[in-house]
Amino acid sequence: MQKRKLGKSNLEVSAIGLGCMGLSFGYGPAVDKQQGISLIRAAVERGVTFFDTAEVYGPFTNEELVGEALAPFRDQVVIATKFGFKIENGKQAGLDSRPEHIKEVADASLKRLKTDRIDLLYQHRVDPNVRIEDVAGAVKDLIHQGKVKHFGLSEAGVKTIRRAHAVQPVAALQSEYSLWWREPEAEVLPTLEELGIGFVPFSPLGKGFLTGKISQDTQFDKTDFRNVVPRFTPENRKANQAMVDLLGRFAQQKKATPAQVALAWLLAQKPWIVPIPGTTKLHRLEENIGGAAVELMLDDLRQLERAASKIPVQGERYPEELQKLVGR
């Protein structure tokens, strides 16, 4: 597996990471713990060195799973986790990025992750009630104490990124980005390039849609949050199938799968982009890792660009109440 550096931070990771959320939360019932540990360790064996979790996934259970799975390989891997939510009675209950809360969360995350340092600590969502300078300052303190190595932001807008970066250099921004959701191209990517910040796209396969394995007839588990995502209504899935068909045509030419082409497209955008697809299945993990070996030439990228620009994507990426948490 090739390695990439996240911006100017010198944080080196595998070109494709593993988003661990879905093992515990979000896409239906949590997997059996041993199965989750096996999958994470299989990723390490196949060259993945970048693992993404958060206290709110579960809550807490995903960090515990990641910590246990990676304990034998701790010095070979980079672990990213996140703070920024209030958790009450085992449920997410609004935002909380007060500096004292950040420090409490970091200490609790260190215990769950069975480690003495967090390689990359993200603010999960921008908290409008706390100055971003105070958030960056709290993480700077944790870096000085040796508990955290690098500071990240998730779903932040460019003004927030600049203000945070002025206090404590931001190593990486995490946001949704794929052929199916290209909003970051307008302002975010140019700002990251200017400031030397890495970019970590989550949902690089469109929450599974770009794999070609979801149709308008697919029934999701009742606990799967795609049930409330406007983009995933049956009629929008039918309309959005055109994007999957396009990927399928390219995949045939490249002797690859639609998911691999979608990941290769992201990797081709910038050398400091590191997608973190998630999965619960070994064969999908192997397929995703294979995306790093698919080479898209300039002409391929132009053709893909031209064709994709003619396909209007139907449906919002979040329901209204989740969209309100996006800090731009």
Residue type present at position 35:
Q
Token output for 269: 């955008």
Q: How far is CA 236 from the centre of its chain?
A: 23
Dist CA 130 CA 99 (whole Å)? 9
Residue 63, Ramachandran bin (φ over 0: left; ψ between -120 and 50: alpha; else beta):
alpha
Q: Which residues pair with 88 in a beta bridge?
A: 91
* DSSP per-residue letters across 287-315: HHHHGGGPPPPHHHHHHHHHHHHTSPPPS
Dist CA 170 CA 120 (whole Å)? 10
Helix (H, G, I), strand (E, B) or coil at 21: helix
Q: Is 57 an active-site residue?
A: yes
- For residue 82, give the H/E element and its range: strand 78-83
Strands 3-5 and 12-14: antiparallel
Please report where in the chains the tokens 């672990």 appear, as a residue: 79
Token output for 152: 């990240």
Taking residue 54's Cβ as centre, other Cβ atoms within 10 Å add up to 26
Q: Is there a contact between 50 and 18 (Cβ–Cβ < 8 Å)?
A: yes
Backbone phi and psi for residue 150, each to the nearest 5 degrees, phi listed first:
-140, 155
Token output for 212: 């070609």
- Catalytically annotated residue among 27, 57, 122, 177: 57
Please report where in the chains the tokens 């990771």 appear, as a residue: 13
Could you list the active site residues? 57
